[in-house]
Amino acid sequence: MPRFAEIIDQHQIKDHMQNALDTGKISHAYIISGEDDSGKEFVARAYAKALLCENREKQGGYIEACGKCHSCIQAESDSNPDIITVRHEKLVLSVDDIREQVNNDVIIKPYASKYKVYIIPDGEKMNVQAQNALLKTLEEPPAYVVIIILTNNIDAFLQTIISRCVVLPMKPASDNSIKKYLMEDLQVVGYKADLCTSFARGNVGKAIQLASNNRFENLKNSIIELINKLGNLEIHQINSRLQGVIKPETDEELDANALKKLEQENREDFLDVMLFFFRDVLVYKSTENVDHLIFGDKLSYIRDISGKCSYEGISKILEAISRAEKRLGSNVNSDLTLQMLFIDIKENI
């Protein structure tokens, strides 16, 4: 169960919450904004648990929930009746969801604690009617109510909502903090920790995912293999190989949604893998130093390509990757874009 000591970086948010716990000046409403997987819910739950704890204590510089009282034990098994997570079954968070789970519920006093905390994940999915309904509670909340809205897009909110909330933006965590966490807490080995940290770009949840599943490792291996074989492939073969990399055959039984997610994640990471690989090729070609390679485990491939490629060729390839990145950003046909990129690369190897 989340503790402040386990929140990586996010100093501003921790300072704010610690100060609130210390002084007892708890706001009625918060918005925690940040990308998906950045840890918003973790932060919200650490705060909720500390708010409700019967014997908060100071540990390692933080005011933390004790972890032992009745409230903490219930919170740990996700069954604390004074922490309400607002769920929605449809794509939008509707006015009925807000009325049933928030507005009609806030009038009931907390069971055991001084506070009753409502956590609303996916806050951006509230439509205007739902937001207007929530506004009724935000305008006159009972003294014990604390509402924490989580969102990846604060622009989706009415100004009247924002103005009644303390807004706490998640910041990208530092590479050092993420790497330290992966190595010390998750026992990820050094080069892999470096790799996952580079790709996560400050997003802790993404770093953990990258470190803990095979998808990324498989994607990386198949892309590098494809680059290596590029010289012997005809254009139509390149295309079918590309499809195989993005939509790999897996032994696991995956349903349609899981397959779609896998494909989406592979598409998102594809160009980053290319970019980091050819940066490695450039670093190796100019320094022959292997200490700073991101794909240090692929040294033989890196050495091979750097032997075949001129400096000019590598810089043309890096330019082609950034052109492809721009095209994909503007929603053009992504299969065609990747195919053209590989043809560019083939010409320069």
Site residues (vs Zn ion, CB under 5 A): 53, 65-66, 69, 72
Give the nearer residue to Zn ion in terms of CB position, either 116 or 179. 116
To Zn ion, the closest distance from the beta carbon of 24 in angstroms equals 16
Give the nearer residue to Zn ion in terms of CB position, either 66 or 318. 66
Indicate left, alpha or beta for 31 from its phi (over 0: left) and psi (-120 to 50: alpha).
Answer: beta
Spatial contact of 92 and 126, defined as CB atoms under 8 Å apart: yes
Give the nearer residue to Zn ion in terms of CB position, either 66 or 340. 66
Give the nearer residue to Zn ion in terms of CB position, either 33 or 71. 71
Give the nearer residue to Zn ion in terms of CB position, either 4 or 301. 4
From CA 191, how far away is CA 298, in angstroms rounded?
A: 11
Query: In terms of Cα–Cα distance, which of 217, 222, 173, 172 is closest to 195?
Result: 217
To Zn ion, the closest distance from the beta carbon of 48 in angstroms equals 12
Give the nearer residue to Zn ion in terms of CB position, either 71 or 197. 71
The answer for residues whose C-beta is within 8 angstroms of residue 1's C-beta and 6 or more apart is 45, 49, 65, 67, 72, 75, 76
From CA 303, how far away is CA 290, in angstroms rounded?
A: 10
To Zn ion, the closest distance from the beta carbon of 61 in angstroms equals 18
Look up residue 186 and give its DSSP letter. Answer: S
Give the nearer residue to Zn ion in terms of CB position, either 52 or 165. 52
To Zn ion, the closest distance from the beta carbon of 286 in angstroms equals 56
To Zn ion, the closest distance from the beta carbon of 67 in angstroms equals 6
Q: Identify residue 275 by its one-letter amino acid code.
A: L
Q: From edge to edge, which strands make up the β-sheet containing 83-85?
A: 83-85, 116-120, 145-151, 29-33, 166-169
Give the nearer residue to Zn ion in terms of CB position, either 72 or 262. 72
Outline where DSSP puts E strands in the chain. 29-33, 57-59, 62-64, 83-85, 116-120, 145-151, 166-169
Three-class SS of residue 249? coil
To Zn ion, the closest distance from the beta carbon of 150 in angstroms equals 23
To Zn ion, the closest distance from the beta carbon of 57 in angstroms equals 8
From CA 167, how far away is CA 151, in angstroms rounded?
A: 11
From CA 53, how far away is CA 47, in angstroms rounded?
A: 10
To Zn ion, the closest distance from the beta carbon of 46 in angstroms equals 12
